[in-house]
Structure 1
């Protein structure tokens, strides 16, 4: 037993997507988009316990992912609601708006007939001028990953080594469509 376990603190040294048949989690932590990119941090669980996350490399966590506890068990990660702008338009106009958002390297969540982005009055004004209906919402933010990674646009994966696994670049989907 290490010192952290002796003083009653939980420690996680690994992260992974949730899988069918996973046991019930030993706890939950709710984090916003920016807070779900982490390597080493102390977190407060929903039940008040403290968790030390000490991962070998930074990871981008999505809603439902699991932090694996050193002594066994898992902590479920939940995406916290946060202030977002929802951008709506029809057909080709929405595609054009998505192009402008992507051209600015802005993380965006793609939903049926609309996009969600973090609030930015300059971007929102530009999109409204291009014909978007813009409304403010409070919702979990789960933007698309980059072409070579998931969750963030800088190639992160859940500890996949492309040299060890030639298919590591093929993303897995663990969120409902």
Structure 2
């Protein structure tokens, strides 16, 4: 890994496009396999990645959700899905751009959209890898969970953030 904090151009956001499920599945799989090794063992990573890479299941899960895609030079590098205007159902960033602000950009956009649509709070079932990321954004741990993926058990934490509270300077 290089020490360059922002190597590429700034990321842009757009809605997910029809037929984009394969590239989103590939981003999720790469993120799981490339970023979660300190928190999950190889069996857990492989089961989670296989579930995320199931394009048919992913398409069904994203149907009806607001999904934003982060791009660099027009290429998708991350995505976030807002479910029922109250839950961040998924947020994945490709390992090649991890730590460059793409996840923060996606999370901030989802928070703003949910707030504009009247949500009072947002929840997320954060992986152990993402726990610190969401805590830095003002999410508070509520409960630990155990979920099964491909016959393997993984832990995560349900977190909540109250929206509309002052978080910093107003534009």
State TM-score, norm by structure 1: 0.25
Q: Name whichever structure is richer in helix by fraction.
A: 2
Higher strand share: 1
Q: Which of the two has higher C-alpha Rg?
A: 1
